[in-house]
Structure 1
Amino acid sequence: MRILQVVFILFFVFKLEAQNYELENVTFEELMESKHHIDTSAVASIMFKKQETNFKYKKDDGFVCTTDFSIKIKIYKKEGLKFADFKIPYFVGYSNLRDESVKIVKAYTYNLSGNKIIKTKVTSESKFENKLNEFWETKIIAFPDVKVGSIIELRYVLKSQNLSVLPDFQFQYSIPVDYAEYISKIPEFYIYKAIKQGYVDVEYNEKVEQASQTFDDKYGNLLSMNYKQINSRYQTKNVPSLIEENFSNNIENYYGKIDNELQIIRMPNEEPEKIATTWEDVTNSIYKEKNFGEELFKTDYFAKQINNLLLNQENNKMDLIFNYVKNNIVWNGKYGYFPKTGVEEAFKNKTGNVAEINLMLVSMLNYAGLNAFPILISTKDNGIAIFPSRTKFNYVIAGVELNDKTIVLLDATNKNASPNIIPERAMNWFGRMIRKNGTSEMVNLYPEKSSIENVSVLAELKTDGTIKGKQRKLLTDYYAFEYRNENGNRNKENYIEELEKRENFSLVEEYKLDNLNDLTKPIIETYSFTSNSLVDIIGSKIYFSPMLFHQITENPFKAENRLYPVDFNFPIKDSYTFSIKIPEGYVLESKPESLNIAMEDNKGSFKYTVSENMGTIQFACSLEINAPIIESAYYQHLKEFFNQIVLKQNEKIVLIKK
């Protein structure tokens, strides 16, 4: 009898656990939960996510992929309410396939009213579609009556004829995931390679089984098909949240995820067909597309203008053509590596998408005798192209190979861009440069040259705590590029008002800005300032930071650990030299000690010195980050490095009355 009781209890526990991974099985205990059982700081959690991919055969379409998604989310804090607005993107830009479709099967909100569970169904008014661009649409579900403590459930089906890549299985987010499971049932005719992303372990098992399907032929006869099927199952539990910190690139690149990329199609009685198994396959197939490769060889539409532009010019052809395209063709904000209307139409209408502008640029550069190539890119918001796939790219720039084999990067979509200064959206690890024979090679998209910010200040401190001074700031490369993008079209008076507010100045005068439109020179900004908020006077002493208003006030790296790299975008060299006159009647009582520290492997350095000479404080500080990307293995050292910087930069000079 006791054995039977144990068996019954075990069966009940197993059944209860299984029920928790099914929709429409919300319990009173789950709704009463006020915090996550592991991560008590979580604003919400995914109680479970299940995903199953199947292949269905249709007489007109052949095999079609259908993926069934089920997800159950618990809201713990008001910051978690955003997870009740669910967005499902799907692709609608195929030229030879039907658009993908999303069908909402179930969607509910659960709440407690006393001891009663209230279940609210999502109505059609809470489900709508939003067109993101010409290629993507989004199904949006706004769950009703969601509050702290609510549970939401959703089941939907994504249908696609595109079998080149299956819907990814993401099992990590910015909130914890209690349980995640993915099942795929794939006919033997399609061989996929599963690629794991992220830092979470996943259980995996696979088996081959017999399968069959029935379908009608074109005459209405019922036919059956028998084949072997590869059934795969991925499973993981208690997946921690991955929180986005400063300098993260795109956090989506680092979430735990499984991608399935089609490698081989092997139909009965046919030779196996390799599909995008290498980068060469991918780039060669793109290059051979009519609306890519052929666009590079069209020259008649611009020949007259370029001939006139280069008349008697031999030494700066690249810059002349680059500036011509930037200043004459306006980017319409559209991505893609295929032209939409074609390079000729873009040239005629003086506007185009990124492909039309930069493929036109490549063609013009080659016409002028330079060695130019298109470079395929996945933008930061599109993720990293970690495996060979046409679908992973969404952008294209130009590359010019110089005699010493150096590659110069050019993107004519931004008026402030210059050679090797491309927009941040395109600075995403590596691109693939396609040569004229269709072969390709990897190109680093991050700059090696440091961008410089050089600040010098001459100031005088008054006995009432007022500081008056003059500042000169010099910015090069990416610092200058960012400044021009942010402030190039701003009204001078409005900018000065914001500067006064940002730095707590009481007055800014004699403002001057040099080289705003001359991209070959650094930005130089000078102005005089008055501030009443940089000094503390306590009794007979004056306290102030020698960095005045330039110090880093808090460490940007707060996480205890970090699994993904730190992305600074570009190497930096920041330097500050200040001369601050001590007011009459005061002398230096104490000052910060000098500091000279460096990171491992020359990743960065920091120097800081303060001295006093004949009533004047002389201050110098420099910060260098020598690599655009710093691997997570250096995180603890980087965090401590910045901790020391923050502590040092916020130390005070103390003056005392004579």
Structure 2
Amino acid sequence: MKKLIIALSLISFYIINVAAQGADEELNLDFKGVSVLDFSVETVDKSNDFDAVYVLNRELIKFYPGAKFGQMRIVHKRIRIENQDGLEYATEQISLYQKGNAKEYVVDLEGVTYNLIDGKVESSELGKDAIFDKDINEFYKSKSFTMPDVKVGSVIEYTYTIGSDTAYIDDLYLQYEIPILNLEAGILFPRQFVYNVVFNPRAVYKVAFNASDFGEGISGSKITAEEDEEFGSDIETEQLRISGKSIGIATKNIPALAAEPMSGGAQRYRAKLIMNIAATRFTNGQVSKEYASSWRDVAKTIYDSDRFGSAIKKSSFYKKDLESILDDTMGDLKKTEVIYEFVKSKVKWNGRYGVFTRDGLKSAYKDGSGSVADVNLLLVSMLKKAGVNANPVLVSSDDNGVPIFPTREGFDYVIVQVIINGEKILLDATEKFARPNLIPLRAANWKGRVVQENGASDWVKLTENQKSQEIVLLNLSLDEEGLIAGKAKKRLSQYMALRSRNENQNANQEDIEEYLVNDNVGLQVADVKVDDMNSTNEYLNYSFDVVYKDAVDEIGDKLYITPLLFEANEENPFSLPRRNLPLDLSYPLEVKTIVNLAIPDGYEVESMPQSVNYVYLNKGYYKYITKISNNIITTVATFNMDTSVVLSIDYKAFRDFYASVVEKDAEKIVLKKI
């Protein structure tokens, strides 16, 4: 490690010193510089009881010339363990890419654990017997290590270098799930390439900068990140253009990246630097080649690949099978339905993403298993061969987030678009129960780029805001003993049906009954019938008998009943006082509950909840209606959301709206003896 530190010290990093109320200035941040101060220095982030704290997180990237063009990512971390759960930080796993010429490796790994005993710092060195190598799959292996003698209160420190022969630079994180007391991050860019660099504009924690902060030779411009529904508008950010220069950031007290329920993944909101190769340079400094500068260029580059467009054209290996499942009487719609279901059953998705075929469509066809690209490019190929107007659609999956600027890595998933009689239909054959225009939620992110054979491309919407519905009908009777019994039906559509099918496709009768009871105390279901469980029909239907005990409170000569019974919303899951991240409901929805409750002879209604209609910012509503006729009390409650995203600025309004729903559902019908 000594040589690397000396070499690094020769680099003149331009550092932004971000003002902050700081950690103790006397800390020695050199490797093996831990002192008594490291055990007592505190974080200013008091938002949570954190499992651990980064006393130091340092990550520096540089490139070196040689027989191969290479990259070194030098990592130095110092972590204090705060509680038992924090002991997981004693183990570090480093994932290393192993494909082609971009293989990654680890060198100069050192580690020390420090414990404060009787006022003195005692250390334990990381031994070779605690370092392990493991093959994960054909593309990745890992190197992991576990620090010795770690306990609550320990300070652990380790450093290592990841080397690789690639010019692509992974995102440089400036924020983690625990607070950082001291952060140092820097990059020395090679002269052979020109890079575009941006700070993640969607990050909650902001580091504002511009080109002038880093000295001469670095240019900057304002760019607009792609439209993102979660923020309601495009986002403008500063983009740096850098070649052969260095940038760095040094600051203190970075708050933790707080996880918030239903946020759609905190990764997209992490503070980080994002790098993209924009061009290559000749040795004289002149630009030799500009890379894709628009999504149109990106899409064409992908289609022109042998593992994409050329793969679609190959058909000899499935020709006989295709002929056997089609006949001359079929129109394009019927052909599409038949081929779609055939591909689903013929080639199962192996869980891997990507836009390029792995070993070719023929191999996936023979093996009966393949990646997203294998499955859906095969679907495109077979549809085209059958004469259907079909083209691939490039997508950024939910895990990949919404890209900042045009880059090939902005797409990591592919689906299919067919056009029949002018109607555009989206298909994804990786999901057993997916239907036309109902693609899996993992792919229903942002927007897609449909690419034609001539290289032309355009954006397409991935969802049409179709509402997923749940309709529950309860026809029940209340007897004099306070027992409620009767018949129930539940109908699900769209994503609600898809989720229920995925969860229950292999369930037995007992499992289905448990699913329908859904932890409601006193509820029993029997004689369950399910229609269209193992199909792709629009609706999934459940019907069953219901017995509900202890649903009535009897006080004197009066009975108190919750009108919606076991379908009532009893708690508000949106209890946070505020949110920094949007609330992701996954899809627009409508939940409608109809309860017809026959009351026993000898009782009459003294009072019922009043009918109301609560509105959430003209984006949703809750309509609650009660009425009585012929001794049957009917309650109809409809919860409707026209949007799937609640912006952080709208969260309080939504929280209060939902609190009103819970409060309304808790109101009682009061029956009294005649």
User: Is TM more than 0.5 here?
Assistant: yes
Q: Which residue of 1 aligns with 2:172?
A: 169
Q: For the structure 1 residues 138 and 401, does the alpha-carbon distance in structure 2 shift closer, same or farther, using more than 3 Å as the test?
A: farther
Match of 2:59 in 1: 51
Q: 1:342 aligns with which of 353, 356, 360?
A: 360
Task: Report the secondary structure of 2:357's partner residue.
Answer: coil
Partner of 1:430: 447
Point out the more displaced range, 486-495 or 113-122: 113-122
Cα deviations by residue, 1:553-586 (Å, 9 ceiling, x for unpaired): 3223233332332222221111111011223444
- Which range is displaced more, 517-526 or 552-561? 552-561
Q: Does 1:323 align with 2:323?
A: no
Partner amino acid, structure 2, of 1:89:
S
* Pair 1:640-2:656 in alignment: yes
- Counterpart check, 1:592 vs 2:596: no
Deviation at 1:621, TM superposition (A): 0.5
How much does 1:527 deviate? 0.3
State the Cα RMSD in Å: 2.8
Query: What is the SS of the residue equivalent to 2:519?
Result: helix
Whether 1:410 and 2:427 are equivalent positions in the alignment is yes
Displacement, 1:243? Answer: 2.4
SS of residue matched to 2:450: strand
**8 Å Cα contact 2:299-2:455 kept in structure 1:** yes
Change (3 A) 1:329 1:16: closer
- Map of 1:46-445 to 2, 5 A cutoff? 46-58=54-66, 60-61=67-68, 63-93=69-99, 95=100, 97-103=101-107, 105-164=109-168, 166-197=169-200, 198-202=203-207, 204=209, 205-207=213-215, 229-269=244-284, 271-311=287-327, 312-314=329-331, 315-404=333-422, 407-445=424-462
Report SS of the residue matched to 1:446: coil
How far is 1:231 from its partner? 1.6
| 2:224 corresponding residue in structure 1 | none
Can you list the C-alpha shifts for 1:151-197, whole angstroms capped at 9, x where unaligned?
22232212122213x12121223322333221111233322111221
Which runs of structure 2 are paired with 1:466-615 in the superposition (5 Å)? 466-497=483-514, 499-500=516-517, 502-505=519-522, 507-600=524-617, 602-615=618-631
Asked whether the 8 Å contact 1:200–1:256 carries over to 2, the reply is yes
- Give the AA of the match of 1:171: L
Structure 2 equivalent of residue 218 of structure 1: none
Give the letter aligned to residue 261 of structure 1.
Answer: N
**Identity of matched residues, %:** 32
Aligned partners of 2:115 and 2:155 also within 8 Å: yes
With structure 2 as the length reference, what TM-score do the two structures score? 0.86
* 1:497 CA drift (Å): 4.3
Correspondence for 1:222: none
CA contact (8 A) 1:143 1:152 kept: yes
* Contact 1:34–1:149 (CA under 8 A) maintained in structure 2: no
8 A contact 2:22–2:181 mirrored in 1 = no
Counterpart CA distance in 2 for 1:347 and 1:638 is 48
Q: Letter of the aligned partner of 1:473 in structure 2?
A: K
Q: Would you say the 8 A contact 1:44–1:77 is kept in 2?
A: yes
- Please list every run of 5 or more consecutive structure 2 residues that lacks an aligned counterpart in the other structure: 1-20, 218-241
Please tell me whether the aligned partners of residues 23 and 43 of structure 2 are also in contact (alpha carbons under 8 angstroms): no
Measure the CA separation in 2 of the matches of 1:29 and 1:536. 61
SS in 1 for 2:322: helix
Q: For each residue in 1:107-137, what CA deviation from the matched residue of structure 2 results, as whole angstroms up to 9, or x when unmatched?
A: 2333333323232333334332344433233
Q: Is the contact made by 1:246 and 1:556 (CA closer than 8 Å) also made in structure 2?
A: no
Aligned length: 623
Unaligned ranges ≥5, structure 1: 1-12, 210-226
CA contact (8 A) 1:535 1:542 kept: yes
Distance 1:652 1:391, change over 3 A: same
CA contact (8 A) 1:44 1:74 kept: yes
Give the letter for the 1:389 counterpart: T
Work out the CA distance in 2 between the residues paired with 1:24 and 1:541: 75
SS at 1:17 equivalent: coil
Q: Distance in 2 between matches of 1:271 and 1:398?
A: 37
1:425 match: secondary structure: coil
**Deviation of the 1:25 alpha carbon:** 3.0
CA distance in 2, matches of 1:83, 1:591: 56
The answer to whether the aligner puts 1:17 opposite 2:25 as a matched pair is: yes
